[in-house]
Structure 1
Amino acid sequence: MLLPLPPRRRLRAAPPARLTPRHAPLRRGALLPFVHRPCPRETGRGAACLTCWELVWSGSQVEGASKKRRGGGIGGGGGGGGGSLASSTRKDKGLSIDFKESQVADFEDLEEDKFLNAVVKVYCTHIRPDYGLPWQKQRQHSSTGSAFMIGDNKLLTNAHCVEHDTQIKVKRRGDDKKYVAKVLARGTECDLAMLSVENEEFWRGTEPLQLGRLPCLQDSVTVVGYPLGGDTISVTKGVVSRIEVTPYAHGTSDLLGVQIDAAINAGNSGGPAFNEQGECIGVAFQVFRSDEAENIGYVIPTTVVSHFLNDYRKNGKYTGFPCLGVLLQKLENPALRESLKVPSSEGVLVRRVEPTAPASSVLRKGDVITSFDGVSVGCEGTVPFRSTERIAFRYLTSQKYAGDVAQLGIIREGNVMKVQTILHPRKHLVPFNVDGGQPSYLIVAGLVFTPLTEPFIEEECEDTLGLKLLAKARYSLSTFEGEQIVIVSQRYWRTMSTSGMSTWAINKS
């Protein structure tokens, strides 16, 4: 009996902004348009002051009002000084305009500049492989994203921003020059990538961002980056709405994620999210698109970021997030717990163990896992999180590194036992990503053989592959190291023309 296919994910990685020709100038409205005029005052850097604006109507200049940003956090978070609102009124040609200006901190504050200047714009050129014709590549396209400085002359961004890259350039805020960057590490499952820029001029006078703690619910958060809608840096504000283990749209794992209601748009990917103290608490990476919901964006928290960075420092490369390699079932049913001789409402049932996982030597179908490294596991598959919260069991395994040892408390046929197992990243029978970027293939007697991968399924459309093949791709496990599902993706045959010339025709299987 075939299991039903899971529904499509609605989580989507916030796409990089596609580079398009600059939009046409906005038309003047029939009402009062605000037009920026250079201020006669000059800043210390020799540029025109950007805090003064003039109101222009019917060719007449009306009294200008200084637009100052809020202080207390990056991008105008808290209130400014406790003064009253300044109000000015002027009548010109029968027009009465009332200006109200909040006395708040100036945007040119040096502390704000220090944090904003650490955020850079990423320009990437991509060439995606053609999985149907694996010896070819698709058309080249360009996109933009965001990144930020993390110290040691390195940048952090999203993996999907630099996927299938052929050239990467970055540009600092307030600078016209672009600098070539290269990828040092790429974590597809956690959607993070580390970049380096060898040109020392790029790093002159810069300060890296400091990673902060995991935020709490309702904490203020500010997202900074270079999304669509303009060329300069953008700042949006919101609050932390939820913290839980979340499916990563670009990767293959369920990892800790922070849900926020601040706007995240194409081009924001890879940009930092700040708390009120100016600390980086995560990386913007995906949004939830639905007609039934709005303002749902996700940030990769610093716990996942730190795991990625520490993994690179320890191993010189990214090795991934480990897992137990088991399929688990909740034990909420009292009758089921009684049949398994589980005395209390705790533990999760092992339904299946991956043959290639180290846990296959110590765990078997029917075992009940009651603890992980001394932390009790609830019957809903959750574990204690902070003081009064609970979170999915997967959170504990994601805190480990490849090769770490975990101690499990299990109940087997009513007997309480303690076992140890080594944790390794999961090897998927149908890979979610192709190592090296280019798919492998073999042509024999006009038949094109290629491994079945998720990018191939996505490109060729699920409806054309058949239910049995899809079910095997979704639910089958590797029985030995390096096992693959190989399919015939194309068929060729030779035909003879009337002139005697031979040609080759192609037909998709």
Structure 2
Amino acid sequence: MRFPFGLTALALLLVGTGPAIAAPPLELSVVRILNRSQRSNWVAPWNALGTSTSTGSGFIIDGGLIMTNAHVVSDARLLYVFLHNDPNPHQLRVKVIGHDCDLALVEPVEEGLLDDYPALEFGPLPAHRSTVETYGFPAGGERISSTRGVVSRIEMQAYAHSGIDAHLTVQTDAAINPGNSGGPVVQGGKVVGVAFQGTSQLENTGYFIPTEVVDHFLRDAADGRYDGYPELGVITSNMENPAARRRAGMSEGLSGVRVDAVFPGGSADGHLRPGDVLLAVDGHPVANDGSTLIDDFRGDFGAVVDRHQIGEQLQVRLLRDGQVLETAVTMRSLPRLRLLANSYDRRPRYFVYGGLVFM
């Protein structure tokens, strides 16, 4: 979440000063990002909106790059980074950005700027009820802040930035406030996630993007271009009702979800049909509520689908007309779905004819 400038009030508690203490190596790698952005006007496309200034966080990784959230650097006209104990802004440019997973890689325009700063390493998915620590620059502050909390939930969750995507998300009671976005979430000295959003419906609750999603993004972006997540392209409903299972011809011991619709052009198009029952994906049995056991936690079967890149194959077991079938689905994107997503980093195309605006 970005934090706009112009606080109406800010209360500070002075706790005293003491001798200077050297910053831990981890804090040396956490940076503050300033974005002077300009959003496109999709209501009046000939008239761009005014510029705004917002701040977020990021952290240094291998390759002289900085990882942050896509929403921290979206629609940028000018990007700057402030390094540890350096009051001077340094210009950035976006190298790769993924709006569907709210992640981005940026790099300094000045070559070698990050050579003397340690790159942070990534760790595994944190265990449920384990402790994590978030780092960043909340509330637009210029001093680094850290908060500690417990992993309370791991599940598929909507990503607010795109408005339509849902990926694996970790919930914690560590404070994740405006300005924290893009900062590392750390456990055992390694990054286990990227702070990215909160919720107004719950108190003391924040969310971070786990390294499983980060790794998917980095593998996709390794060639310098981000292709995005593939889409299975189906609408399913659960089969918890015994009558629904009998109607589908499911014998005792079988579980899964019914396929209600298949999107033309999606990965499942030509492989699945309405009325099929999806029994397993990549060998993970699908429960009647749509969940599956993934490593040591139970989550939506979509988390297994999300592990694939475009072009890879997903193994599917299904029930059709009383027969259990196996098929390999080649994963691909669904461009028509992206039309429903929030749009960033591009200007609307339009033309005017007879006083009407066509977009």
TM-score (norm 2): 0.94
CA contact (8 A) 2:95 2:107 kept: yes
CA contact (8 A) 1:114 1:207 kept: yes
Deviation string, structure 1 residues 422-475 (Cα, Å, up to 9, x no partner) = 11123235431337521111211110012xxxxxxxxxxxxxxxxxxxxxxxxx
Instruction: Determine helix, strand or coil for the equivalent of 2:45.
Output: coil
RMSD value, Cα: 2.0
How far off its partner does 1:351 sit? 0.1
Instruction: Determine helix, strand or coil for the equivalent of 2:336.
Output: coil
How far off its partner does 1:232 sit? 0.7
How far off its partner does 1:366 sit? 0.4
Q: Residue 146 of structure 1 is aligned with which of 31, 48, 57? A: 57
Equivalent residue, structure 1, for 2:250: 342
Identity %: 35
Instruction: Determine helix, strand or coil for the equivalent of 2:216.
Output: helix
Taking structure 1 as reference, are residues 413 and 136 closer, same or farther at Cα in structure 2, changes over 3 Å only?
same
Taking structure 1 as reference, are residues 201 and 407 closer, same or farther at Cα in structure 2, changes over 3 Å only?
closer
Equivalent residue, structure 1, for 2:6: 20
Aligned residues: 356
How far off its partner does 1:358 sit? 3.8
CA contact (8 A) 1:331 1:345 kept: no
Summarize the alignment of residues 192-211 of structure 1 with structure 2, pairs less than 5 Å apart: 192-211=103-122
Q: Which runs of 5+ in 2 are unaligned?
A: none
Equivalent residue, structure 2, for 1:262: 174
Equivalent residue, structure 2, for 1:417: 325
Give the residue type in structure 1 aligned to 2:241: N
Task: Tell me, in whole angstroms, the C-alpha distance in 1 between the residues paired with 2:63 and 2:37.
Answer: 27
CA contact (8 A) 1:271 1:284 kept: yes
Q: Residue 330 of structure 1 is aligned with which of 229, 233, 238? A: 238
Equivalent residue, structure 2, for 1:393: 301
Task: Tell me, in whole angstroms, the C-alpha distance in 2 between the residues paired with 1:390 and 1:24.
Answer: 42
Q: Which runs of 5+ in 1 are unaligned?
A: 1-14, 27-32, 40-48, 51-106, 451-509
Taking structure 1 as reference, are residues 21 and 374 closer, same or farther at Cα in structure 2, changes over 3 Å only?
closer
Q: Residue 205 of structure 2 is aligned with which of 296, 300, 303? A: 296
Taking structure 1 as reference, are residues 435 and 35 closer, same or farther at Cα in structure 2, changes over 3 Å only?
closer
Task: Tell me, in whole angstroms, the C-alpha distance in 2 between the residues paired with 1:436 and 1:323.
Answer: 22
Deviation string, structure 1 residues 294-325 (Cα, Å, up to 9, x no partner) = 11100100110011011111x43111111211
Equivalent residue, structure 2, for 1:248: 159
TM-score (norm 1): 0.67
How far off its partner does 1:173 sit? 1.3
CA contact (8 A) 2:74 2:345 kept: no
Q: Is 1:378 the counterpart of 2:284 in the alignment?
A: no
Summarize the alignment of residues 133-282 of structure 1 with structure 2, pairs less than 5 Å apart: 133-228=44-139, 230-251=141-162, 252-275=164-187, 277-282=188-193
Q: Is 1:362 the counterpart of 2:306 in the alignment?
A: no
Give the residue type in structure 2 aligned to 1:224: Y
Task: Tell me, in whole angstroms, the C-alpha distance in 2 between the residues paired with 1:356 and 1:160.
Answer: 29
How far off its partner does 1:228 sit? 1.0
Task: Tell me, in whole angstroms, the C-alpha distance in 1 between the residues paired with 2:108 and 2:331.
Answer: 34
Taking structure 1 as reference, are residues 34 and 142 closer, same or farther at Cα in structure 2, changes over 3 Å only?
closer
Taking structure 1 as reference, are residues 356 and 435 closer, same or farther at Cα in structure 2, changes over 3 Å only?
farther
Instruction: Determine helix, strand or coil for the equivalent of 1:335.
Output: helix
Give the residue type in structure 1 aligned to 2:125: L
